[in-house]
Structure 1
Amino acid sequence: MSTIEEHVFKQEGYHLHMIPTKKYKTNTISVKLKSPLNREVITKRALLPYVLQQATSNYPSARSFRTALDSLYGAVLSVDSSKKGEDHVMTFRMELPNDEMLSGDESLLKQGLALINEIIFHPKVEGEALDKAIVNREKQTLTQKIKSLKDDKMSYANTRLIDEMCKEESYRFHVHGYEEDLNDITAENLYEYYQDMLSNDDMDVYVQGNLDPNEVQQIVQGTIKRQSAPNRSENKTTQQDAPSEVKEIVERQNIQQGKLHLGYRTSIRYGDKDYYALQVFNGIFGGFPSSKLFMNVREKHSLAYYAASRFESHKGLLLVFSGIDPNDYEQAKDIIEKQMDAMKAGEFSEEDVQETKQLVVNQLRETMDNQHGLIELMYHQVLSGSKVTPNEIIENVERVTHEDVLQVAKKVALDTVYFLTKEEGGNE
């Protein structure tokens, strides 16, 4: 297994992470801006990257901006927002050809970095405001996105589970913001928040490709300029124990398929010694098609259209998702809980452990083979303050024993059951 190198340079106002590799024909730039989740500004943060990518000071029209991107030999730009533990992360990504694939004097990487710098630090402004037409258009787009997530009942049920489970924690805030906030967002107050973000967010720049780390540092240092240099904030994601009495929430809508979602507390996060056993535990319990949830709830008892689990690496949560007939609520919930009881009783074989470890390792290797996936994996170190490399994660997973998985199972505690079901008197 090839070793993944990471060279980290502390720049003025940000950290540069250089990942040299000859695996790809393209180079990737990824800029991440992180701030604690905050209900007052989360909708602005969800909106902002989409506004910034539309036009800049030097490329003020959609056509001129597109021409600038096309001049980089078809470079691909994307933006998004994500929730990592109790932090909100904005990401600006660019994928562009390796200079070795082209003939030309000026570094394509340098040009790509210059455009990323333009997008983040030199947006199109009108006095003390972002471009009003762009802001209004992107507000409409975000409104549609929020509505579509409500219409997707699996996504809606997951959001509602977190609403109820984390009622007193910042993790409950919605990553894409709130529709009711959008009317109050103006080009002026969004620009004001943008200035605050530039001053206070933690910023990490990742450059990955067939490149020399020291050359990249010189190019980045001369291209991406940040005036202020905030001290990197500490990871302060809160941990809570499951309540003594499980919360049970039933919500009714005009739907045919019920959504039964369960939220568990694990008290295990990325960088903890039990994190690797948690990955294997989740795989045996509900993470793969060979898992207990899939085989028992869906296949054996035919009680679910789907049944699976996943864990949140930076918050210590394990979430179960299932789509069921509304009439099968009690039976489905009982069988899901029995699968968890079986895990706590050690009712899984050594063969289950070995097979699942291989599945987890294969999944990690697939992530590492993907340019964006590898950067996300490396960024876990920043989020957690833990310097565990991707290769060490694989080694630690391979060392997990049956006893390790059993000890993790004993830590998992049910917090909240959320059931989205049909309206009373609805069609059978």
Structure 2
Amino acid sequence: MNLKVINETKFKNIIISVRFRSPMKKETVAQKMVISDYLTNVCQPYPTKAILVDRLNAMYGASLSSNYMTYGNSQVVELRARIIDPSYIDGKQDLLMEAIEMMKAFLFEPLLDGDGNLLKNYVDESIRMTLSKTTRMIDEPSQYAASKALHDAGKGFALENQVLFFEDAVKAITPASLLNAIQTMVREDYMEVVVIGNVDPIVNAQIKDAFNNTGELVPAVSYTLEAKQTDVYQEEYRDISQAYISMVYQSHVSNVDEDYWKLAVANAIFGQTPSSLLFREVREKHSLAYSIHSGLQPYDGALCVNVGVNEENIEKTIALIKEQFTRVQNGDFDHDTIQVVKDMLANSLYTQMDDLHGILNFSYRNMILANDATVEDIIANINETTLEDIMRIMANVELVETFVLRKGDDK
């Protein structure tokens, strides 16, 4: 178990995040997805949702939520609580421990039926909710195209395990199998706890006592996509108003590499910002799309471009994207843009640290990467980036797949 308590007094709330991290295995993805919905339904001390809501209201509007996330070769189920800083409430200094006891109940005291299984109606509800989320993602063409491209480009790697493609496995879950999955998770998955807010360090021992298991440390989560086939083109058809293009590149750079933040600068010049080549050429100059964006998959060593265009502009748009990529490789752009994107990335990091959830994400990144980098360290790395660095790094980036969801009859 790994615990990090960050004493931060500028917020009125405290966040407690308990995360169970395990290796990314295809056979457990569906279980983790459903667990993330089921986890805050009911437990022995809170046998109905109404009782839970009443208790959260009595705790001055506290909240309890759960999530499923992936980080490269790892998958994570999170249970998160948010409470008001007890210093704002006279006589309620034990509010933090009340929240922790509630979280413990949902993790370690499941509500069972007479046969010793989870209640079927709540399990069925969580399955329906999970399928509803994935169905919405499939029905949203831009989201489907992006996930499909990552799934195909990532064959044989953790990246292929996009949540859209586990419908059958989700439907196969039973109350007994879900109970076993939850018990295995809380017992064997590596537990990581982050607490942020106005927290007295004296509670560290209490938190460690409350959350403890025998899970072993998961190996490094980051890797680099190394697809053997490159520049693959695939398409599907659907009754949609416009086409969606998703292109996946392998960067050969992971977020633990020295070159990662230099890659981030290169990507920002390519397509992340309104001053990027993709935005200026595809949107402003040629008016082919309302929005176009490139982004990094930092734990998978991948770079992605996503855009929606009219059917007749597909080939022209793909050609323009490739052309802008080559320009970055050759250093054929306004070099003043380098400083612009450096400032943008630095401001984004500073803004992140002004938000409670941003601090949580930054702290957890350091935790799973076994890193103690500060924002200032990262900004210094960003500012060291040169034109030569950008050209060198982008010269090694390869297009793996272009996926196009086209307008037309899917038959």
Q: Give the CA deviation at 1:271.
A: 2.1
Q: Percent identity?
A: 27
Maintained 8 Å contact 1:286/1:309: yes
String of CA shifts for 1:175-221, please: whole Å, max 9, x gaps.
366222233111111101111112221111111112222x1203313
Give the stretch that moved more between structures: 107-116 or 331-340: 107-116
- 2:141 corresponds to which letter in structure 1? K
Q: Give the CA deviation at 1:134.
A: 0.8
Maintained 8 Å contact 1:270/1:380: no
1:122 has 2:109 as partner: yes
Number of residues of Structure 1 aligned to a counterpart in Structure 2: 410
Match of 1:173 among 154, 161, 168: 161
Gaps of 5+ in 2: none
Q: Give the CA deviation at 1:31.
A: 1.0
Give the stretch that moved more between structures: 364-373 or 285-294: 364-373
Aligned to 1:9: none
String of CA shifts for 1:70-122, please: whole Å, max 9, x gaps.
12110122211111112111112211111110011541111111111112222
Superposition TM-score, scaled by structure 1 size: 0.91
Maintained 8 Å contact 1:128/1:191: no
Secondary structure of the residue that 1:54 maps to in structure 2?
coil
Provide the rounded CA distance (Å) in 2 between the counterparts of 1:29 and 1:89.
Answer: 15
Q: Give the CA deviation at 1:170.
A: 2.5
Aligned to 1:251: 236
1:329 has 2:314 as partner: yes
Match of 1:51 among 26, 31, 38: 38
Superposition TM-score, scaled by structure 2 size: 0.95
Match of 2:303 among 315, 318, 328: 318
Provide the rounded CA distance (Å) in 2 between the counterparts of 1:59 and 1:245.
Answer: 52
Q: Closer, same or farther in 2 for the Cα pair 1:301/1:175, shift >3 Å?
A: same
Give the stretch that moved more between structures: 20-29 or 397-406: 397-406
Provide the rounded CA distance (Å) in 2 between the counterparts of 1:33 and 1:120.
Answer: 11
Secondary structure of the residue that 2:353 maps to in structure 1?
helix
Q: Closer, same or farther in 2 for the Cα pair 1:41/1:245, shift >3 Å?
A: closer
Q: Give the CA deviation at 1:255.
A: 1.5
Maintained 8 Å contact 2:254/2:301: yes
Superposition CA RMSD, Å? 1.8
1:209 has 2:194 as partner: no
Aligned to 2:124: 136
- 2:333 corresponds to which letter in structure 1? F
Aligned to 1:92: 79
Aligned to 2:332: 347
Provide the rounded CA distance (Å) in 2 between the counterparts of 1:177 and 1:369.
Answer: 36
1:111 has 2:98 as partner: yes
Secondary structure of the residue that 2:300 maps to in structure 1?
coil
1:38 has 2:18 as partner: no
Match of 1:265 among 242, 250, 255: 250
Aligned to 2:284: 299
1:378 has 2:363 as partner: yes
1:190 has 2:175 as partner: no
Q: Closer, same or farther in 2 for the Cα pair 1:367/1:157, shift >3 Å?
A: same
